[in-house]
Amino acid sequence: MVLGHESSGVVSSIGDAVTSVKVGDRVAIEPGVPSRLSDEYKGGKYNLCPHMVFAATPNSVEGEPNPPGTLELGALVEPLTVGVHAAKLASIRFRDIVVVFGAGPVGLLAASVAKLFGASEILIVDIADDKLQLAQKIGVADFIFNSKTGGGASDLIKAFNGKVPTVVLECTGAPPCIKLAVEILKPGGRMVQIGNAGGDVQFPITEFATKELTLFGSFRYGFEDYKTAVAILDENYKNGKEHAPVDYESLITHRYKFKDAVAAYDFVKTGGAVKCIIDGPE
């Protein structure tokens, strides 16, 4: 898999048959090309196609201009789409109470989609206070909880003013978070596993069964999700940055020149960034 698949750019040339974009358009790249003959593709789940080619090369370009703002916003479309897909799987609706595990880019973007889909209140869980504070700053968290210092399930619910979540979006893949998600969910609740674990994990199957919870696996995104993400950013910034309900641009905490790309990856590995942008070649 080629690194850097969350990308945007400006169309510099087009072929004779291209009608969806023109030279000079700012575009976000959807970097996946499925087989149009697979059962998964024909069944409307192209993200599950076993022949998917998924990389950073521009095999597939979303034919809509980027939302108002910089090209950096265009690079957020792809991870935002992951949040759109998860929200659809969970059927998030008006008055749902949502807990999001993980205050990285995917977690914060998923929280923003949950709010847009009608969630009444959102609590975000992480082990880094600076990331939790950012979640509040950009407007996606009503409550925050540090699971490293805050305690267990009862403490989390207390931090949520006693509210019991109907939906959990698990974006870490960490076994303690997966276990805690099952413990805090309201009976009949829904959980979407977005984060990837490093291997098999222990799972509280008895509590999961007796609560009649529903667990959804989530892999990338599906039909119409990408266009929905573009529309979300477009709507968010339609009245200008100063009036935007969600400050998506503040998710970008670090920026590097193309010549410093290796240093960018080294820094991201330290865990000190939320979202890091690498400029194109000069």
Predicted confidence (pLDDT) per residue in 140-184, tens digit: 999 999 999 998 999 999 999 999 999 999 999 999 999 999 999
pTM to 2 decimal places: 0.88
Q: CA-CA distance, 269 to 282, in Å (whole number)?
A: 25
Task: Please tell me the number of Cα atoms within 13 Å of 254 on its side-chain side.
Answer: 17
Nearest to 177 by CA among 159, 157, 195: 195
Return phi, psi of residue 9, to 5°: -175, -170
* Alpha carbon distance 165, 111 (integer Å): 13
Burial, 81: exposed, middle or buried (Cβ in 10 Å; 0-12, 13-18, 19+)?
Answer: buried
85-107 residue pLDDT tens = 999 999 999 999 999 999 999 99
pLDDT of 144: 98
CB contact at 8 A, 173 and 196: yes
| CA atoms of 159 and 254, how far apart (whole Å) | 30
- For residues 185 and 204, give the distance between their C-alpha atoms in angstroms, rounded to a whole number: 12
Which phi and psi (to 5°) does residue 198 adopt? -80, -5
Query: For residue 179, which phi and psi values (nearest 5 degrees)?
Result: -65, -45
The three-class DSSP label of residue 102 is coil
Query: How far lies 47's CA from each of 34, 85, 118, 192, in Å?
Result: 8, 11, 25, 16
pLDDT at 188: 98
Mean pLDDT of 40-53: 88
Domains identified in the chain and CATH numbers: 1-65 (no CATH), 80-217 (3.40.50.720)
| Helix/strand/coil for 14 | coil
Q: Which is more confident, 88 or 61?
A: 88
Reported as a single tens digit per residue, the pLDDT across 115-152 is: 999 999 999 999 999 999 999 999 999 999 999 999 89
Closest CA to 58 of 105, 13, 109: 13
Does residue 59 register a pLDDT over 70?
Answer: no
